[in-house]
Homo-oligomer: A and B are copies of this chain.
Amino acid sequence: MSSTTEQATGARTWSVAEHLDDILTAVQPLEPIELNLLDAQGCVLVEQVTVPVALPPFDNSSMDGYAVRAADTERASEASPAVLTVIGDVAAGSSGTELTVGPGRAARIMTGAPLPPGADAVVPVEWTDGGTGAGPARTMAPHSASPQGSGGQVRVHRPVTPHAHVRARGGDVCAGDVALEAGTVLGPPQIALLSAIGRPAARVRPRPRVVVLSTGSELAQPGEELAAGQIYDSNSFALAAAAKDAGAIVYRVGAVTDDAETLRATIEDQLIRADLLVTTGGVSVGAYDVVKEALTAVAEEELGEAEGEPAEGEEGEDAEQAVHRAHVDFRTLAMQPGKPQGFGTIGPDRTPILTLPGNPVSSYVSFELFVRPAIRAMMGLADLHRPVVRATLLPPHGAGDEEPAPLTSPEGKRQFLRGTYTGGERPEVRPVGGSGSHLIGALAHADALIVVPEAATKAAWGSEVEVVLLG
Report copies per complex: 2
Q: Looking at the complex, which of A196-204, A342-350, A451-459 is the stretch in contact with chain B?
A: A196-204
Residues 210-232 of A at the B interface (beta carbon under 8 Å): 216-224, 226-232
Known: A192-B237, A193-B443. A260 touches B144 (CB 8 A): yes
- Residue-by-residue, is A128-163 near B (CB-CB < 8 Å gives 1, otherwise 0)? 000000001011111111010000000000000000
Q: Looking at the complex, which of A165-173, A267-275, A393-401, A405-413 is the stretch in contact with chain B?
A: A165-173
Is there contact, CB below 8 Å, between B187 and A228? no
B141, B234, B438: the one contacting A287 at CB < 8 Å is B141
Is there contact, CB below 8 Å, between A195 and B233? yes
Is there contact, CB below 8 Å, between A289 and B142? yes
Check: A85 CB closer than 8 A to any chain B CB. no
CA distance A238 to B192 in the complex (A): 5
Chain B residues within an 8 Å CB radius of A143: 287
Check: A444 CB closer than 8 A to any chain B CB. yes
Check: A188 CB closer than 8 A to any chain B CB. yes
Q: Which 7 A-B pairs have the closest CB atoms?
A: A93-B217, A200-B223, A192-B238, A93-B218, A64-B286, A95-B228, A193-B444
| A residues in contact (CB < 8 Å) with B | 1-2, 5-6, 8-9, 11, 37-38, 41, 53, 55-58, 62, 64, 89, 91-97, 108, 110-114, 124-127, 136, 138-145, 147, 167, 171-173, 177, 179-180, 187-201, 216-224, 226-235, 237-242, 244-245, 250, 252, 257-261, 284-290, 292-293, 358-360, 364, 436-444, 446, 470-471
- The majority secondary structure among interface residues of chain A is loop
Query: Closest Cβ of chain B: how far from A40's Cβ, in Å?
Result: 9
B6, B56, B219, B293: the one contacting A144 at CB < 8 Å is B293
CA distance A138 to B2 in the complex (A): 9
CA distance A287 to B258 in the complex (A): 72
User: In this complex, what residue of B is CB-closest to A91?
Assistant: B288
